[in-house]
Amino acid sequence: AALIGVDYLAVSFPRCGEDLNYARRLARDAGCDAKIVAKVERAEAVCDQNAMDDIILASDVVMVARGDLGVEIGDPELVGIQKALIRRARQLNRAVITATQMMESMITNPMPTRAEVMDVANAVLAGPAAVMLSAGAAAG
């Protein structure tokens, strides 16, 4: 990362802010001053407000990684957690990315379903800095 001068380093499955601080120290020791993206994918990262704040404050950018996080906490819980993470990250002046499992039907179909369009619209209305589309939007 240092050799090619990356701007951002994404840290997958952080358990706490110290995981992100450790990644930042490793990067700096290697001569890399990249911003740290916390890919929030673990239940323990969102189990309470203190856990969320710890991760948000240790990062430069927060990614709500809905696929793995949904597996960890379940889809019904994911709805509220996604909104809470976005709201709290914005309050703490961190950029937020909402990512994964958006418009997945487009992997095999040229058009998204109405539900997928509503999902993306609701994700945008929640106020993240970015919405990340992947396999579905690339194929459809």
Q: Delineate the domains of the chain, giving CATH numbers in brackets.
A: 8-139 (3.20.20.60)
The mean pLDDT value for 111-131 works out to 92
Say what the pLDDT of residue 66 is.
92
Say what the pLDDT of residue 140 is.
54
The mean pLDDT value for 88-104 works out to 93
Q: Kindly tell me if the per-residue pLDDT of 35 is higher than 70.
A: yes
28: left (phi over 0), alpha (psi -120 to 50) or beta: alpha
The mean pLDDT value for 15-36 works out to 97
Q: Residue 63 CB: number of other CB atoms within 10 A?
A: 27
16-20, 44-48, 130-134: which range is least confident on average?
A: 130-134
Q: Is 50 within 8 Å of 32 (Cβ atoms)?
A: no
φ/ψ (deg, to 5) at 117:
-60, -45
Q: Position 99: which residue type?
A: A
The pTM assigned to this predicted structure is 0.89
* pLDDT per position as a tens digit, 59-90: 999 999 999 999 999 999 999 999 999 999 99
Token code pair at residue 25:
């120290």
